Amino acid sequence: DAKTTQPNSMESNEEEPVHLPCNHSTISGTDYIHWYRQLPSQGPEYVIHGLTSNVNNRMASLAIAEDRKSSTLILHRATLRDAAVYYCILRDVVDDMRFGAGTRLTVKP
């Protein structure tokens, strides 16, 4: 399985942008990059996913490096409700998801 590397924790100020990095140097050509987040005492929540091109949705943006060996989840204006553990997951069409430890995001008022 291709692996991902994320920082254990990050801090952000409320209403500022947040860039959450993910390294995946062994990514294969058929691996999709998925991001989920888990708020305290809740199940994971889908955020965004992409293959090669940058992606935007109402929650976030996903910026994928040209060589696909890294990606960045961008929260454009962090709110206190965005405090969560963020998981970057590589997923082939024939694989199920393997969660790592993720990045714990703290948002300061």
Partner 1 sequence: NAGVTQTPKFQVLKTGQSMTLQCAQDMNHEYMSWYRQDPGMGLRLIHYSVGAGITDQGEVPNGYNVSRSTTEDFPLRLLSAAPSQTSVYFCASASGWGQPQHFGDGTRLSIL
DSSP single-letter state for residue 81: G
Query: Which residue of 49, 55, 72, 74 would you call a contact of partner 1, by CB under 8 A?
Result: 49
Residue 81, interface with partner 1 (CB under 8 A)?
no
Residue 17 or 36: the one with the smaller Cβ distance to partner 1 is 36
Q: Which two tokens stand for residue 20?
A: 């959450």
Grouping H, G, I as helix, E, B as strand and the rest as coil, residue 82 is helix
Q: Which two tokens stand for residue 78?
A: 């962090």
Query: Which residue of 44, 63, 72, 74 would you call a contact of partner 1, by CB under 8 A?
Result: 44
Beta bridge partners of 31: none
Residue 102, interface with partner 1 (CB under 8 A)?
yes
